[in-house]
Each structure stands twice: as structure tokens, then as C-alpha cells.
Amino acid sequence: MGKKEISLPQTSAAALMGKQSVRATFRLSVECINAISILSAQMGIKQKSLFDHLMEDANSLVSIAREAESVMLNKESRTQKTFVISRKSLSILDKISKQFDFSRDDLVEFSVRRLSPIIAKERQKQVKRERLHLKIAEHLKDGIELLNEIQRQLGNEDLIYKAMDAVIDTYKKASSTIESFIEKGKRIEDFPVEKFNKR
């Protein structure tokens, strides 16, 4: 009996080329640069993935170019920053920039600004996370005290102690992971969402 042939989806060379990473430099506000960094960290995704998600949405870029044409942006305090994005994203960005005679930098700035509601929501979640982590820390402290009590009464070799010790060890690791995540997210607490939205 011959081997069964497996049918795989065809991928064009153009599609593969579009996924290649390239470096692109833009002049953006500090708030915009920080927003990209903060969102990437908060959502656990690479900046390139976030950038590609924004830039490959051609319809949104066209909408931005049409709607924001008359909006005056403060360009004096902008900073030059190089990002890694896909070739496809850069191609779409360049095409729309030329088609509407609209700055690439401004297209990026407005695209990221559209994420302000997500940043605001994540900022609220950060406050809740910190509040809940305090409760988790208290719960862990109580668990450790209970573990110590089991040890005093039954000793280290008792089955109950060993089972509880494994639980507390896992709890400590989880608490440490949560604490690390919250520390990384502290930047979002001071991010001026309102100011960024009005620049």
C-alpha cells in the first residue's frame, strides 16, 4: 500500500517575502514610543507583532489619512526611533503615505493613538492587579504559617506536610511571577493617556 499524500496549503514567495523583518525609522512623540513599549509588555507580545497588527490594517490607515489631514500635531518634541516591522507592513505604510500625501510618522502616531482606550483599560486592570496581589500575599503568608504548624505537629516526613509543602512551593512561584508582571506594568500607571490622546 502506497503512502498517502498529504496536501499542504500553497504559500507564495510574495507572502513569505512580506513576512521578512525590516528596520524602519520614524520620528514619534515620546508618549507614542512609550505606548508601544508599554502595550507590548502588558499584553505579552513583541513590538513587531503590535506594529504589524496596526500597519497591516490598510483600511484604518486610509481612514486616518482622510480624517486626520487637518489635525495639527506637535512635531517639535518628537524622537527618532527605529523599529523592526514586516516588509508587508512597511509597504502598506509607504503606499498609503504616498497615496494621500500624508506623513508616515503621522500615520504611525495616529495609529498608536487609537490604542489609547486599551491603555486606559489596562491601567485600570493594573490597579486591580496590585490590590489583588496584596490579598494573594496575605493568603500565602497564612499558608506558610499553616505549613509551619503542620511541621511542628506532624514533622517533615508526614504525608500531609509533604503535600502542603508542594502546594506552598507552587504558590510562592506563582506569587513571584505575578509580582514580576505587576512590576513590569508599573510604567502604565504614570502613562498620560489623556495627554497622549490630545497631542
> What residue numbers bound the domain in which 107 lies?
20-114
Cα–Cα separations (whole angstroms), residue 73 to 156, 177, 197: 67, 40, 11
Choosing from 62, 88, 114, the residue where a domain stops is 114
Choosing from 87, 114, 141, the residue where a domain stops is 114
Residue 22's DSSP bridge partners are: 85
Indicate whether 39 belongs to any domain: yes
Indicate whether 2 belongs to any domain: no
- Are 136 and 110 found together in one domain? no
- Are 149 and 94 found together in one domain? no
Indicate whether 15 belongs to any domain: no
- Are 157 and 98 found together in one domain? no
- Are 29 and 98 found together in one domain? yes
- Are 158 and 133 found together in one domain? yes
CA distance 96 to 89: 11
Choosing from 114, 139, 163, the residue where a domain stops is 114
Give me the phi and psi of 76, to 5 degrees please.
-70, -35
- Are 160 and 108 found together in one domain? no
Helix axes 116-154, 159-184, angle to 10 degrees: 160
Contact between 83 and 47 (Cβ < 8 Å): yes
Instruction: List, for residues 87-135, the tens digit of each pLDDT value.
Output: 999 999 999 999 988 889 989 988 898 888 888 888 889 999 999 999 9
Contact between 51 and 107 (Cβ < 8 Å): no
Contact between 116 and 32 (Cβ < 8 Å): no
pTM to 2 decimal places: 0.70
Max CA pair span of the chain = 78
Instruction: List, for residues 20-66, the tens digit of each pLDDT value.
Output: 889 999 999 888 899 998 888 888 888 889 888 888 888 888 888 88
Indicate whether 38 belongs to any domain: yes
Indicate whether 82 belongs to any domain: yes
Give, in degrees to the nearest 5, the angle at Cα 169 between 160 and 159.
15
Residues 6+ apart with CB under 8 A from 126: 42, 182, 185, 186, 188, 189
Confidence of residue 161 (pLDDT cuts 50, 70, 90): very high
Cα–Cα separations (whole angstroms), residue 60 to 67, 74, 109, 124, 192: 10, 22, 13, 26, 24
